[in-house]
């Protein structure tokens, strides 16, 4: 049992971008009787894509008026992010939009609640959410300017005027734990609460992220995190979810990429097939790479990186009357691995080298087949974070730093993080077969996900069959 006296500080992590419309007291509008049955008054979860048209308009307007905004968020703005959600609310639920004093990211709101910050003007907004999802950057003094937002919709100017010109890192304290919340949580009142951040970014912290280490947080979706010293001059990387100063660790740029669905894809097929993960995994593990003759695209919830297009959909090529459920399941796992490889390639195309890959999240510890396929497809050892709750651990590390238990995150990482002894190593035979499959994946990826490709795919199915027959018959 941990004693309250041993808790020196608190960290907060949530999903994001998950903004909430709040009133002048910082209370979500969903708590109001008038909006109790209004979905738009609830938190707008990150995976909501209803603002896709608004995201496209933001991208086009930024290209015309503020190309620097576009460059810092990977070249395209996403429907998963702050402004597209708020603008969509203004169009589709104007009563909610008009009633909101401002909009607050869930991570920032949680820290405000714990510290008794009851007015939106007083809460500290984290650079993690602001920089990666709301176009905040020190180069232009914070959030997008009013002229730009007015060109989108004059209503957005009112929201901009409620936002500060400063954002804070997880090494900053948002405030102190209130008496009321201390009683509810069994903690000491006055304990410092760190500024909030996203679960994936703090998952990187909890996995001991440092330059050269790619941290993959694998769950319903996947987030890929890297850091680079602020002293380095980094290029703008097309397709990333932003390069933001100190969004993950103080003193470093935070680089974010990811896939909009991974575990959700596997869960979808479990529901469709009526078979369990355990059964499908067991049977899929008996197959060799290429043996199914199948190849898929992992876009069942759109593509986050590198295409930033939530209107793309999943695809499976090579189905026959003899295809078995386990073959489809394995092909879906392989598709997510190919998507992960494309992300690593994009980092390295711009000079950001991934010398080490550390995985965390539920799938990394629950499914050894997934980890082995990832090792073979990426042709890199896959390490697993020692903690099964790395996002919570990263938040705890933020609490430890603001509470003075560790002077900085480097010392906190040395004391609190590590990896399991077991590593998943690439199998050379599998690597060669997956290289062959990946070339076909890239054809599907580029033809269906980008413009300007006139390549004929007539031979693709036959190539899959040829590889299948080679594997089956030797």
* One domain for residues 266 and 219: yes
Both tokens of 6, joined, read 């041993």
Long-range Cβ contact pairs of 344-350 (< 8 A, separation 24 or more): 344/214, 344/224, 344/378, 346/237, 346/238, 346/239, 346/240, 346/257, 346/305, 346/306, 347/214, 347/226, 347/237, 347/255, 347/257, 350/234, 350/235, 350/237
Model confidence pLDDT, tens digit, residues 238-272: 999 889 999 999 999 999 999 999 999 999 999 99
pLDDT at 200: 93
Domain holding 136, by residue range, is: 4-194
Cα–Cα distances (Å) from 107 to 6, 53, 113, 352, in that order, read 24, 26, 10, 28
Report the relative pairing of strands 102-105 and 19-22 from DSSP bridges: antiparallel
Give the domain CATH number at 446. 3.30.420.40
* One domain for residues 180 and 130: yes
* One domain for residues 122 and 227: no
- Of the three residues 194, 222, 239, the one that is the final residue of a domain is 194
* One domain for residues 318 and 463: yes
* One domain for residues 178 and 321: no
Confidence of residue 237 (pLDDT cuts 50, 70, 90): very high
- Of the three residues 176, 194, 212, the one that is the final residue of a domain is 194
Cα–Cα distances (Å) from 59 to 138, 260, 309, in that order, read 20, 19, 11
Whole-number Å distance between alpha carbons of 255 and 269: 31
* DSSP category for residue 79: T
SS3 call for 228: strand
Choose among 47, 45, 44, 25: nearest CA to 99. 25
* One domain for residues 400 and 318: yes
Question: Residue 367: beta bridge partners?
Answer: none
Both tokens of 191, joined, read 């304990």
Peptide bond into 17 cis (omega under 30): yes
The whole-chain average pLDDT of the chain stands at 96
- Of the three residues 194, 224, 239, the one that is the final residue of a domain is 194
Model confidence pLDDT, tens digit, residues 382-440: 999 999 999 999 999 999 999 999 999 999 999 999 999 999 999 999 999 999 999 99
Residue pair 25/118 in contact (Cβ under 8 Å)? The answer is: yes
* One domain for residues 212 and 143: no
* One domain for residues 155 and 96: yes
* Secondary-structure breakdown of the chain: helix, strand, coil percentages, each rounded to the nearest 5: 45, 15, 40
- The predicted model scores a pTM of 0.93
Confidence of residue 452 (pLDDT cuts 50, 70, 90): confident
* Residue 62: how many other CB atoms lie within 10 Å: 24
* One domain for residues 250 and 115: no
What element of type H or E holds 273?
helix 263-273
The counts of H helices and E strands in the chain are 19, 14
Choose among 326, 365, 16, 346: nearest CA to 207. 365
pLDDT at 130: 98
Q: How many domains does the chain have?
A: 2
Residue 11 reports pLDDT greater than 90: yes
Model confidence pLDDT, tens digit, residues 264-310: 999 999 999 999 999 999 999 999 999 999 999 999 999 999 998 98
Whole-number Å distance between alpha carbons of 103 and 117: 15
pLDDT at 453: 81
Whole-number Å distance between alpha carbons of 105 and 44: 9
* One domain for residues 203 and 180: no
Query: Which residue carries 């575990």 as its tokens?
Result: 263
* One domain for residues 454 and 345: yes
Whole-number Å distance between alpha carbons of 104 and 88: 16
* One domain for residues 51 and 65: yes
Q: How many CA atoms lie within 13 A of 53 on its CB side?
A: 6
């Amino acid at each position: 049992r941990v004693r309250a006296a041993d808790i020196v500080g608190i960290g907060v992590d949530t999903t994001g971008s998950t903004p909430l419309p709040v009133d002048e007291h910082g209370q979500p509008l969903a708590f109001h009787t008038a909006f109790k049955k209004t979905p738009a008054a609830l938190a707008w979860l990150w995976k909501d894509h209803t603002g896709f048209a608004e995201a496209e308009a933001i991208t086009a307007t930024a290209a015309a008026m503020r190309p620097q905004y576009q460059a810092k968020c990977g070249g395209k703005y996403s429907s998963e992010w702050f402004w597209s959600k708020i603008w969509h609310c203004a169009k589709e639920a104007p009563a909610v939009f008009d009633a909101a004093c401002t909009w607050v990211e869930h991570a920032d709101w949680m820290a405000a609640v714990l510290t008794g910050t009851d007015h939106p003007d007083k809460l500290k907004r984290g650079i993690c959410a602001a920089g990666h999802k709301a176009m905040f950057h020190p180069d232009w003094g914070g959030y997008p300017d009013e002229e730009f937002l007015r060109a989108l919709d004059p209503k957005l100017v009112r929201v901009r005027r409620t936002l500060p010109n400063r954002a804070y890192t997880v090494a900053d304290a948002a405030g102190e734990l209130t008496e009321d919340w201390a009683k509810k949580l069994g903690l000491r009142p006055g304990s410092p609460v760190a500024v909030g951040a996203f679960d994936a970014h703090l998952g990187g912290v909890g996995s001991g992220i440092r330059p050269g280490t790619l941290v993959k947080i694998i769950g319903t979706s996947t987030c890929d995190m890297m850091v680079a010293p602020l002293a380095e001059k980094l290029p703008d990387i097309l397709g990333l979810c932003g390069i933001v100063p100190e969004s993950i660790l103080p003193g470093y740029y935070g680089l974010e990429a990811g896939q909009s669905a991974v575990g959700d894809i596997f869960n979808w097929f479990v529901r469709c097939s009526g078979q369990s993960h355990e059964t499908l995994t067991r049977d899929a593990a008996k197959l060799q790479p290429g043996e199914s003759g199948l190849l898929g695209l992992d876009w069942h919830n759109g593509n986050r990186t590198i295409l930033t297009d939530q209107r793309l959909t999943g695809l499976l090529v090579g189905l026959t009357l003899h295809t078995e459920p386990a073959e489809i399941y394995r092909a879906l796992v392989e598709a997510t691995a190919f998507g992960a490889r494309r992300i690593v390639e994009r980092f390295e195309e711009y000079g950001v080298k991934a010398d080490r890959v550390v995985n965390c999240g539920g799938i990394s510890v629950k499914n050894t087949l997934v980890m082995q396929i990832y090792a073979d497809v990426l042709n890199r050892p896959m390490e697993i974070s020692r903690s099964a709750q790395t996002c919570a651990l990263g938040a705890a590390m933020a609490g430890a730093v603001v509470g003075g238990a560790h002077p900085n995150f480097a010392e906190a990482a040395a004391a609190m993080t590590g990896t399991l002894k077991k590593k998943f190593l690439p199998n050379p035979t599998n690597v060669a077969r997956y290289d062959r499959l990946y070339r076909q994946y890239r054809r599907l990826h580029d033809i269906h996900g980008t413009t300007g490709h006139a390549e004929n795919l007539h031979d693709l199915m036959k190539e899959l069959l040829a590889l299948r027959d080679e594997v089956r018959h030797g």
